[in-house]
Amino acid sequence: DAGVTQSPTHLIKTRGQHVTLRCSPISGHKSVSWYQQVLGQGPQFIFQYYEKEERGRGNFPDRFSARQFPNYSSELNVNALLLGDSALYLCASSLGLAGEIDTQYFGPGTRLTVL
Amino acid sequence: AQSVTQLGSHVSVSEGALVLLRCNYSSSVPPYLFWYVQYPNQGLQLLLKYTSAATLVKGINDFEAEFKKSETSFHLTKPSAHMSDAAEYFCAVKQAAGNKLTFGGGTRVLVKP
């Protein structure tokens, strides 16, 4: 079975631009979460989506937004890019079952560089 | 708020030696605990998880971790290091409600021949 896929793998943008990152979850998984991993640090939670609705949001500014589509794939959008947005953006998918331990499986990430 | 502390940002071990990576968490209720591994330029791969079924958890590639509630710890061990174990390891905690994983800062493992 295919794992979590993300596109693009690398991206270079300049300050002030916007970016869209894409994620396809494991087949059968209905929940997608996004994380930002700055170089040398652990991943930080940005969003969780389940059945196209936002279920959780981390401490990130409103420049960050996301959505989930009927096929459970997801997009992360970042507007007005800052140098500090340079990071590896990780997508994780899970079953999203209520009341169950919901293990997250991660994709390879998108490396965003803001110049 | 929950947090995770990984003692030692870098660990160097000889091939064949014991690997010990330390993780302590703070949480008001017993959480779910995870160890992930990240190889260079890759995403995170799940090594093992604690879900309250057993305090000693076995994972892939001969890794195991022991949950100690009294010490709020979930240390990761492997009896014999292999060159392929060179990577960064992350401990993470999650509460029963919600899907947010809170990660530690990571420990980079170097394996010397």
Give residue-wise pLDDT tens across range A61-97: 999 999 999 999 999 999 999 999 999 999 999 998 7
Residue B4's pLDDT is 93
On chain A, the residues whose CB falls within 8 A of the CB of B32 are 101
Say if residue B95's pLDDT is above 80: no
Angle at CA of residue B101, ends A87 and A33, nearest 5° = 65
The chain-wide mean pLDDT, for chain B, equals: 91
Which secondary structure element, helix H or strand E, spans residue B91, and what is its range? strand B87-94
CB contact under 8 A, B43 and A107: yes
Chain B residues whose CB is inside 8 A of the A90 CB are: 43-44
Residue B52 has pLDDT above 70, yes or no: yes
- Tell me what pLDDT residue A96 has: 85
B98–A103: do the CB atoms touch at under 8 Å? no
Instruction: Compute the nearest-CA separation of A52 from chain B (Å).
Output: 15
Residue of B7, B47, B99 to mutate when probing chain A, most A C-beta within 10 A: B99
Q: Does the pLDDT of residue A99 top 70, yes or no?
A: no
Q: Which two tokens stand for residue A55?
A: 């279920």
Q: Which among A108, A64, A61, A74 is positioned nearest to A88, based on CA atoms?
A: A108
